[in-house]
Structure 1
Amino acid sequence: MQKRILIVFLLTSVCACQDSNKNLVSINGLTMGTSYTIQVVPNENELDKSKIHKNIEKILIDINQTMSTYINDSELSLFNQSKFTGWQVLSEDLFRVIAHGNQISSVSNGAFDMTIAPLVNVWGFGANMSNRVIPSNSVIQSIKQHTGYKKIKVDRMTQRISKSDPIVTIDLSGIAKGFAVDKIAQYLNELDITNYLVEIGGELRGKGRNAEQQLWQIGIEQANPLERSVQRIVSLENMAMATSGDYRNYFESGGTHYSHTINPVTGKPIKHSLAAVTVLHSSAMHADALATAFMVLGTEKSLILANEINVALYMIIKTNEGFEERYNKYFKPFLTNHVY
């Protein structure tokens, strides 16, 4: 799902190299259908860049082999292929991500739903994006019979999950990148690296300071599909950041705008004025899933939920005059004074 709209201004070449700034090491590559960049400001000890790059690649390969729906024999694919409706024991990582996604589904009243890939596909936003035909209500309702987060049960005591419908499937595209960011951050922490920025497909997590000994500065993109420019600058201090929006990935038919963000309740693209959201949290996985949920909920419901669960939320909202921004008290401390 191509939902990330964040300007990060990071290197994109597939390499592990020393930046022109002697105090910054950049490691770049491809994963999960997108790119990743890790920036590290070394401590006094010399870094083995090649070894770190190799270990990061292994972490990402393992996550893909566990959670990708594009790998036929991944652990998740095998679960989806199975018609067994009893309890199934999962690996620690897969269980953790599904259990957390299930928690976000519950908190958001189903706005985040890991089972809606068939709905995403029927609207032409899945793997075959060239086949975009408006599905009939009967087709949507037929698919919805086999979706819904409540069809997935989680047993945290025994690390097992079950599905009440043998046809239901799970897709982790709305949470797996965030988990991968957290996993790499955990690895860097284990190396006692205190200053880094991890980014995968627009999901970020920063710790410490950049090469200029300043907080990591991240740009939030303006909600303008015709150009890329910065709306706001966020200073990340030991925090993760996820952004979701609907103004780039959409199609129009018969004069109607169809967003790639599908409301799991209606089975149809969202129809409200919220154009983009940015979420800050200590966990990239948590922020990732909530960003999707907030895009489904819309402005007012998102603001209410974010305040209830003490999450930093920033929103760009479409108006008749253009766009306006809203953010809650938890987000305000991370904004720089400069507005573009």
Structure 2
Amino acid sequence: MSSITVLAPLHRRLLSILLLGALALLGGCTPDNTAQELQGRTMGTHYSIKFFGHPDGLEIGELQARIDARLERVNDLMSTYRPDSELSRFNASESDDWFPVSSELATLVALAERISLFSIGAFDVTVGPAVNLWGFGPGQPPEQLPSDEQLAEVRERIGFPRLEYRLDPPALRKEKPGVYVDLSGIAKGHGVDQVAAVLEAAGVTDYLAEVGGELRASGTKPDGSPWRIAIERPETGAREVYHVVTLHDSAMATSGDYRNFYTRDGKLYSHTINPITARPVTHTLASVSVIAADCAQADALATALLVLGPEAGFALAETHDIAAFFVVREDDGYSDRATSRFVALSAE
């Protein structure tokens, strides 16, 4: 019997993998045929890893310690919730000189900048001032909605050309003191990739690694079957399977508007902020799932396509051969649309 993992969307709240069914554990199976699982907390959410085989020369506890240490490093570099993280110290700096950072942070910002250019600013890590203004950053939701004057002020500090990166020696530079970087649209995916790196360095090649709903799969199950992933139905308070795909040596991330939000006067305000308007998106696109070679790229692309919406997002993804699955709200439920690349990959 196969197992299906539900892919939850990107959000700050605690997420978990919904496992439907179970692995058939037959009498006399060797340990290599038994799934081993590791779970823990990171980035304000949970991580979960399922793998087969044995780490090279490592006890399971030591493997988990290495994973925890790697994820802790990601937090120490990129969290906006830790005032002493490398990113928080850069955000607090009022200098427009080059700010030395780790190679890991500079490389991730470089990827973010490339996706910003590709999406014409729909994905933009300098959106942080608007994220904070609307109450989706380290603070609490505001008692009153932001005014037009406040929005105009933060828009002056948003725009990926206001942030520069340098890889050698690694450093970041801001155009003006108020530029604030928020990597929440890419950091969990990067965390998944870091977990994958630890597993592969330990000789583990058949695994499914998840952080906060973003996943990366490698290899197969002992019977040769692929990892099967279920995209969640985009409804608040529900954990239902909407669509199932198979994942082959790749990553998948989902961005949605139905987990992290609040309401004011009966209107929903999502954590997905359009960097151009500095306002939460208002279109009917409920979620986007993207399959890519690595999870950081899938994470950022899913965010960009969600910001762009059901028409512009799909057009961009289809034109550039991105594997993406769109779920759109309709008056009588949902409709969905998959790019040609997504259909091809999920059917393999």
- TM (norm. structure 2) is 0.88
5 Å matches for 1:181-220?
Answer: 181-220=192-231
Alignment of 1:2 onto 2:2: no
Please show how residues 247-286 of structure 1 align to structure 2 within 5 Å: 247-286=258-297
2:333 corresponds to which letter in structure 1? G
Q: Which structure 2 residue ranges, 5 or more long, are not aligned? A: 1-9, 21-30
Equivalent-residue separation in structure 2 for 1:162 and 1:313 (angstroms) = 33
2:173 pairs with 1:168: no
Once residues 55 and 193 of structure 2 are traced to their aligned partners in structure 1, the CA distance between those partners, rounded to angstroms, is: 24
Partner of 1:54: 65
Structure 1 residue corresponding to 2:148, chosen from 131, 137, 150: 137
Q: 1:191 to 1:104 in 2, by over 3 A?
A: same
After TM superposition, give the deviation of residue 132 of structure 1 in Å.
4.1
1:61, distance to aligned residue in structure 2 (A): 1.2
Task: Tell me, yes or no, if structure 1 residue 178 matches structure 2 residue 189.
Answer: yes
Return the alpha-carbon distance in structure 2 between the equivalents of residues 205 and 61 of structure 1: 19
The aligned amino acid for 1:85 is: D
Q: 8 Å contact 1:146–1:167 — kept in the other structure?
A: yes
- Which amino acid counterpart does residue 51 of structure 1 have in structure 2? E
Deviation, 1:129, is 3.3
Instruction: Read off the aligned partner of 2:284 and give its amino acid letter.
Output: S
Distance 1:237 1:95 in 2: 29
Per-residue Cα deviation, 1:252-278 (whole angstroms, up to 9, x for no partner): 323433222111101111111111000
Which deviations, in whole Å up to 9, do the C-alpha atoms of 1:92-124 show, x marking residues without a partner? 101111111111111111111112222122222
CA distance, structure 1, for counterparts of residue 208 and residue 17 of structure 2: 10
Residue 55 of structure 2 contacts residue 202 of structure 2 at CA under 8 Å; is this kept in 1?
no
Q: Pick the aligned partner of 2:165 from 154, 164, 173.
A: 154
Deviation at 1:182, TM superposition (A): 0.7
Within the alignment, does 1:329 sit opposite 2:337 as a pair? no
Distance 1:6 1:27, change over 3 A: closer
CA displacement at 1:70 relative to structure 2? 1.8
SS at match of 1:331: helix
Q: Compute the displacement of 1:60 (Å).
A: 1.0
Identity in percent: 38
Task: Determine helix, strand or coil for the equivalent of 1:224.
Answer: coil
SS in 1 for 2:138: coil
**Counterparts of 2:85 and 2:245 in 1: how far apart (Å)?**
36
Pairs within 5 Å for 1:300-339 = 300-335=311-346
Offset at 1:210? 2.7
Decide whether the 8 Å contact of 1:72 with 1:78 is kept in 2: yes
SS of equivalent residue, structure 2 residue 126: coil
**Gap change, CA 1:299 and 1:81, over 3 Å in 2:** same
Question: How many pairs align?
Answer: 329
Spell out, residue by residue over 1:105-152, the C-alpha distance to the aligned partner (whole angstroms, 9 max, x if none): 111111111122221222222233343421111111112212221100
Distance 1:45 1:158, change over 3 A: closer
**What is the CA-CA distance between 1:10 and the residue it aligns to?**
5.3
> Quick one: which amino acid aligns to residue 327 of structure 1?
A
Shift of 1:87: 2.0
Please list every run of 5 or more consecutive structure 1 residues that lacks an aligned counterpart in the other structure: 12-19
Mean Cα displacement is larger for which, 162-171 or 195-204?
162-171
Q: Which amino acid aligns with 1:169?
A: Y
Name the structure 1 match of 2:28.
none
Contact 2:12/2:45 (8 A) holds in 1: no
Q: What's the CA shift for 1:3?
A: 6.2
Indicate how the Cα distance of structure 1 residues 171 and 139 shifts in structure 2: closer, same or farther if over 3 A, else same. Answer: same
- The TM-score, its normalising length taken from structure 1, stands at 0.89
Shift of 1:309: 2.9
1:30 aligns with 2:52: no
User: What is aligned with 1:15?
Assistant: none
